[in-house]
Structure 1
Amino acid sequence: MENQRIICSGFGGQGVMSLGQILAYSGLLEDNEVSWLPSYGPEMRGGTANCSVTISKNKIASPIIDKATIVIAMNNPSLIKFEEYLIKDGVLLVNSSLVNEIPKRKDIKVYSIPASELAVERCKNPKVANMIMLGAYLKISESISSENVLKAFLKVFGESKANLLSTNERALAVGRKYLEEVE
């Protein structure tokens, strides 16, 4: 991994910001340079939210991403807005539980993961759809270890949420396994 530029986007309340923070902290734990830039719509919960995460072995000149290597789209507006930001041969991870639009570009790799459904069916927790998408990202990128993601989870949420670690670890595994099942 030389330089990953990731845009995570969805509705407020879907864990998009925490997904980005976990990615950034995980990158730090693996001795990378990182940046995390949040962007919120006018409303928090239910409004649009996205963040830009850059993970690189080199210094990062700007946290702003105009050409992403990976986009994680948790809903339709995210797909519509950020599909065009992807570089040629970039990766689009789509939460197909909530996205019914079909990506327009043919020069990118698209992975459809029914993260919201899998969160309920396999994890018994609708709040871990973001972690399922993160697990899919980990499978595709192979650049960050699950161990460091779990350490980053504790950094983002604190020790008071340590009881949620096993559920989130399961969600990461579900995301990875789902891609193995469909490949």
Structure 2
Amino acid sequence: WGPDLATRAGDQQYAATMDPALHAATVVALGAALGLDRSHNAIFYDFFPVIALGLIDNSGTPRPLYRAYELMAKLVTESAERLTITGLPDGRLDAGMGAALVARDTQSGVVRVLLVNRNADARTVKITLDGVESTPGQLSVLDASADPADSLPTMQAPGATFTLPARSVTVAEF
């Protein structure tokens, strides 16, 4: 799965959807479980209107892909270390329709969990850290309802069990 560059490279409508963001976040999460420690998007800015591959469109407006990289960047700081997910060593959820990546900031101790839900339906999640059900102190969510031109909202999780919106990228911070 993934974009067909022969038909998508100039497709502005596709570039404005969650599809590229979900693709990138899934690839990074699954790649990290395989040892990937570097990733980048080859085109930052669509310098010509006919290009639709960048994080930012030709008018300077961020796309959902930009916001997905913003969320992923929370887990790849200089002081971050990837943690293995018990029962999910390859990071794959729902037979590949979702992905997870966990990292701890070695300086602050903050644990961040990247959760990708590529499904058309919402998904309920419960996170256990060191054997204890844990409630995130903060959730940052990117889904189709988010305007990528605006900063991503952060919210308090309702409890240890919370819902990932359909077709979303979420970072939970503990």
Q: TM-score, normalised on structure 1?
A: 0.29
Q: TM-score, normalised on structure 2?
A: 0.30
- Going by fraction, where is helix more abundant, 1 or 2? 1
